[in-house]
């Protein structure tokens, strides 16, 4: 891996994950009576719960970092390079 890819790997993993979920969603919409649609109906609430948990973790990280910056519980979420990535997560949720 070169240095640029080592520093920006999360962009590619995020886009790849988004493509997989979007592809699965499109497949489910085209085949509404299949096993994938039944799985999608069961997993959608788990996905919503996971988003809610991640939002709580991010807010907790922000508050802990503001109150006690020396703790720095999750440096990835609070780094200067990716801090702006939290805003679309809250808007999307």
Report domain extents, the chain.
3-92
The pTM assigned to this predicted structure is 0.54
Distance of alpha carbon 42 from alpha carbon 84, whole angstroms: 32
Check residue 33 and give its pLDDT. Answer: 92
Each residue's pLDDT tens digit, 53-84: 888 887 777 777 777 767 665 565 555 556 56
Q: Which of 50, 44, 51 is nearest to 93 (CA)?
A: 51
Cα-Cα end-to-end distance for the chain: 33
Between residues 47 and 22, the one the model is more confident about = 22
Asked if residue 15 lies in contact with residue 56, where contact means CB atoms within 8 angstroms, the answer is no
């Amino acid at each position: 891996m070169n240095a640029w890819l080592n520093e920006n790997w999360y962009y590619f993993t995020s886009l790849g994950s988004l493509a997989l979920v979007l592809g699965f969603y499109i497949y489910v919409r085209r085949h509404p009576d299949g096993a994938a649609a039944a799985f999608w109906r069961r997993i959608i609430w788990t996905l919503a719960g996971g988003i809610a948990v991640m939002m709580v973790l991010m807010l907790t990280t922000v508050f802990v970092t503001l109150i006690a910056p020396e703790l720095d519980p999750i440096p990835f979420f609070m780094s200067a390079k990716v801090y702006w990535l939290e805003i679309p997560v809250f808007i999307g949720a």
